[in-house]
Amino acid sequence: MNKHEIINELNLQYTAKRSAAQERAYANLLRARKDKDFALLESRIRELTFEIGKLQSEDNAKEAYAKRVELTALKVKMGEALSNMHMNKYDIVPNYQCKICNDTGRVKGGYCECFKRELYNALVEASGSKKQLADFSQFEENISNNEEQTKQRKQIHIKLTDWVKNYPKVKTKTFLFCGGTGVGKTFITECVANEMIKKGYLVSFISAFGLNNNFLKYHSTFDESKQTYFEVLTEPELLVIDDLGSEPLLQNVTVEYLTILLSARFDEGKATIITTNLDLDVLMKRYGQRVFSRLINKDSSEMFKLVGDDLRLKRK
């Protein structure tokens, strides 16, 4: 599901919520109107409201005040009539979940905060993440006693925070994070992904193994569904490929389609983050010059060789 489809689905959900609130209120009002006393009170309240408005426009303050007193008394009686039917005044007006936008999802100037929260949750779900994403607020620069690791983490924190802030007006579109198990590759990518989602971008996580399976399905499919296997990889504004090098190399599939994917995302100006336990020499030997050159292109890519201790042990 792309971002446009996600927003359309949310709009449908908001329309349904708003309609449901209105239908419940109207059903309660119809039920209340079956009571003769309530019906008479409602009719008189409508008349008084109109009369007060007219008197105010005629600058007849004294008579308008008297009718407002009468209106207040009638509303008290209406409340009593509703109470006798085991209802209250809030039951006959729509009870919207969001009192700011009345379940429209919109406020002057854009989306309501409630809609933004729903969109964020939908984008996280669509990302394929199996857990709650890490956040830059959890980024502990000094978690390690290793001075080099601490210095590097500070530099990465500053650089990536600035990168997300300025996206899409950034030079670097591909990040490669190399390093051993537990040095923070996944944590860093989650922080970036989380911030991108907060900005409303579509993000997708996929393991290298899952990526390879997608390539294989694309390679072996010959009907109208073929293109969908590649679109899910090119559609997200940010694609995170985790643990590149852990997948089996499939002849005429892995390297060929990885080259095409990286080129397509570069051409469309979209961001890609790749994590791997392999060093540059091994990556070059495994995937060849075409893939390697796209991973370390000095004009559009940046590589970080993460060093230091296993940070997972230090967070426990």
Better-predicted residue by pLDDT, 191 or 131: 191
The predicted pLDDT at position 176 comes to 96
Provide the mean pLDDT of the chain: 90
- Cα 185 versus chain centre, distance: 22
Residue type for 278, please? Answer: L
The predicted pLDDT at position 236 comes to 94
- How far apart, in whole angstroms, are the C-alpha atoms of residue 149 and residue 306? 8
Positive or negative: CA dihedral 272, 276, 279, 283 = negative
The predicted pLDDT at position 134 comes to 87
Q: How far is CA 97 from CA 23, 102, 113, 148, in A?
A: 14, 7, 13, 51
The predicted pLDDT at position 316 comes to 46
User: Does residue 161 have a pLDDT over 50?
Assistant: yes
Other CB atoms within a 10 A radius of the CB of residue 176 amount to 22
Summarised one tens digit per residue, pLDDT across range 98-138 is 999 999 999 998 999 999 999 999 999 999 876 688 888 87
Residue type for 238, please? Answer: L
Summarised one tens digit per residue, pLDDT across range 251-270 is 999 999 999 999 999 999 99
Better-predicted residue by pLDDT, 285 or 65: 285
User: Does residue 145 have a pLDDT over 90?
Assistant: no
Q: How far is CA 232 from CA 31, 159, 236, 272, in A?
A: 50, 28, 7, 13
* Range with lowest mean pLDDT among 36-50, 123-137, 242-256: 123-137
Q: Which phi and psi angles does 201 have, rounded to 5°?
A: -90, 150
Q: What is the mean pLDDT of residues 229-247?
A: 95
